[in-house]
Amino acid sequence: MDDSKSTQLLTELKEQLVKVANQRDKQAYAELFSYFAPKILNFGNQKLSSQGLAMDLVQETMTTVWTKAHLFDADKGSVTTWVFTIMRNRCFDMLRKVQHNKEDTFGDDIWPVFESPQAEEQEDHILTAKMLKHVDALPPLQRQVVKGIYLQELSQQELSTKLSVPLGTIKSRLRLGLVKLRSILEKHYD
């Protein structure tokens, strides 16, 4: 891209971001999204090694662009620098969460009790009934996600699509549901 086209593109991106900041212009935001989303997704796929996390990175970055557009200062840098800085920071946050996230541990700690292969069928039926009673005690949205993931064996992405809910929301509901379920189980069975 030659300098005049590059300068023109940066000017257009800046104008769109200003419209988002000042007028909450959805069309301008859509244009920013269509320009930045593929670049963020590509970066996320490289750095996070997961399509789902890369999609989350796009969502979180562009949501921040929408909510914090008023903080953009053209005197401090270009629109691309500002957006890519947000993307990089969100990516670092996500990498830290992945390293410290105990979500999978919660699932492995709880559900082997639920699906115990050593148990006889009668005993397994009783365990299933007890576990379902505790799952049913969860708030409705968390219960829906926990049942979808563990009983219907849907992936988080499949459940997100099925419920028409963002993937990040599914992950949050699952994490909260498992934390509550774990505390219920610890209270009743410790």
**Positions of the chain with pLDDT lower than 50, given as ranges:** 102-103, 112-116, 118-123
Residue 119 is which amino acid? A
**Which pLDDT score, from 0 to 100, does residue 125 have?**
58
**Which pLDDT score, from 0 to 100, does residue 120 have?**
46
How far is Cα 139 from Cα 156, in angstroms, rounded to an integer? 18
Q: pLDDT tens digit string along 106-119?
A: 555 555 444 445 44
Which residues lie closer than 8 Å to 135 by C-beta, 6 or more apart?
Answer: 143, 146, 147, 181
Q: Are 170 and 160 in contact (CB under 8 A)?
A: yes
**CA distances, 171 to each of 9, 53, 72, 168, 177 (Å):** 36, 11, 30, 5, 10
- Closest CA relative to residue 118, chosen from 109, 130, 131, 127: 127
User: Is the model's pTM score more than 0.85?
Assistant: no
Q: Tokens 């563990």 label which residue?
A: 150
**Which pLDDT score, from 0 to 100, does residue 119 have?**
43
Instruction: Give me the half-sphere count of Cα atoms (radius 13 Å) on the Cβ side of residue 87.
Output: 24
**Which pLDDT score, from 0 to 100, does residue 82 have?**
92
**Which pLDDT score, from 0 to 100, does residue 116 have?**
45
Q: Are 111 and 186 in contact (CB under 8 A)?
A: no
Q: Are 83 and 36 in contact (CB under 8 A)?
A: yes
Q: Give the chain's count of helices (H) and strands (E).
A: 9, 0
